[in-house]
Amino acid sequence: MKTGLAGRTVVVTGGNANIGRAIALAFAEEAAGVVIVGRDEAQGRRVCEQLLEQGAKDVLWQAADVTDRAQVAAVVAAVGERFGGIDVLVNNVGGNVDMDAFVDSDPATWERDIALNFLSTLNCTHAVLPGMIGRGSGRIINIGSTSGIVGDPLLAVYSAMKGAVHAFTKVLAKEVGQHGITVNAIAPYGTLPQDAEQAASSGSRWHPNGVFARLAATRAEQLHSIGRRTLLQRQTAYPAEIGAAAVYLACDAAAFITGQILSVDGGTQLA
């Protein structure tokens, strides 16, 4: 299938690690110009080298906290100077800060979960939309979660924010379709990096000092309790599978698809 993505400019937030890195690599294979946004500069430089090896037309690393509007505006300006505009935005930044029953949760973690999973998506989308509307084309792909569809116990605020991402996807699709812009979301189930050493940035949940490592060491039984069974032999997704879904939603063949939530979950919602 010809994707038509060669030479287009793609911005992937949280592009340093796990799902974001795999998405960036998938677009690199299509000869797109790829911009990755994150906070771990050393990892960002390493991933940029990998993107060029995979065939990216050009790459750019941008350090930013996408929960901060001013930093997001600076990224969009830098991308505009280098590439002239943004064709595809992948709002990938997200994650859970901790894991607790809601009644036992710390309100400080609510604010961080809300900012990380939802405010980041609002900030980046708001910043790129004027350019896309002006050009009469664009693709916005939000990374949601099956948590936002079925709800995961011990992850109440994270699940709620991923549900918000899904609702925002549908509403925005209604608002901007007339401008030639499609808006879709991908809802992965648990996605484990196949090469954790290369795929984990300092801020990743999969980093040796990240939240999953901490929970596995201290509350393994609780962590296991939120898992769901797939219908397949394999119980987790691979990051590259999320990358392939993102490439499809961004490509010319998906031009008539908008406002959709694509689950990549091994059938967990049917099990």
The per-residue pLDDT for 227 is: 78
Distance CA 92, CA 222 (A): 26
Residue 158 a catalytic site member: yes
Nearest Cα to Cα of residue 10 among 83, 99, 77, 109:
83
Q: Which range among 1-5, 199-203, 212-216 has the greatest average pLDDT?
A: 1-5
User: Looking at the predicted structure, is the pLDDT value of residue 196 above 60?
Assistant: no
Distance CA 24, CA 38 (A): 12
pTM beyond 0.85: yes
Mean pLDDT of 216-237: 76
pLDDT for the residue numbered 159: 97
Residue 216 pLDDT greater than 60, yes or no: no
CB neighbour list of residue 49: distance below 8 Å, 6 or more residues apart: none
- The DSSP output letter for 102 is G
Q: What is the band of 138 on the pLDDT scale with cuts at 50, 70, 90? A: very high
In terms of pLDDT, which residue wins out, 189 or 192? 189
**Considering Cα of 138, then 21, then 168, then 84, what sign does the dihedral take?**
negative
For the cut 60, the answer to whether the pLDDT of residue 264 exceeds it is yes
pLDDT given at position 201: 45
Question: pLDDT digit string (tens) for 80-129?
Answer: 999 999 999 999 999 988 889 999 999 999 999 999 999 999 999 999 99
Q: Residue 161: how many CA atoms within 13 Å on its side-chain side?
A: 24
Q: Is 56 helix (H, G, I), strand (E, B) or coil?
A: coil
Q: What are the backbone dihedrals phi and psi of residue 61, each rounded to the nearest 5 degrees, phi first?
A: -100, 130
Alpha-carbon distances of 19 from 32, 123, 208, 237, rounded to whole Å = 18, 20, 17, 10
Closest to 39 (Cα-Cα) out of 12, 79, 66 = 66
The more confidently predicted of residues 217 and 73 is 73
Q: Are 87 and 122 in contact (CB under 8 A)?
A: no
Residue 22's pLDDT is 96
The mean predicted confidence, pLDDT, of the chain is 91
Contact predicate 67/120, CB 8 Å: yes
Which 8-state DSSP code applies to residue 191?
Answer: B
Q: What's the rounded Cα separation, in Å, for the pair 20 and 35?
A: 11
Catalytic residue among 158, 189, 238, 248: 158
Q: pLDDT at position 233, please? A: 93
Question: Mean pLDDT throughout 209-234?
Answer: 70
Using a pLDDT cut of 70, give the percent of the chain over it. 88
CA end-to-end distance (rounded Å), the chain = 32
List the domains of the chain with CATH numbers. Answer: 9-264 (3.40.50.720)
Question: How far is it, in rounded angstroms, from Cα 145 to Cα 190?
Answer: 9
Q: Which two tokens stand for residue 110?
A: 């609510």
Q: What's the pLDDT score for residue 220?
A: 59
**In contact, 188 and 146? CB cutoff 8 Å:** yes
Which band of pLDDT confidence, cut at 50, 70 and 90, is reported for residue 258?
A: very high
Confidence of residue 197 (pLDDT cuts 50, 70, 90): low
At residue 247, does pLDDT exceed 90?
Answer: yes
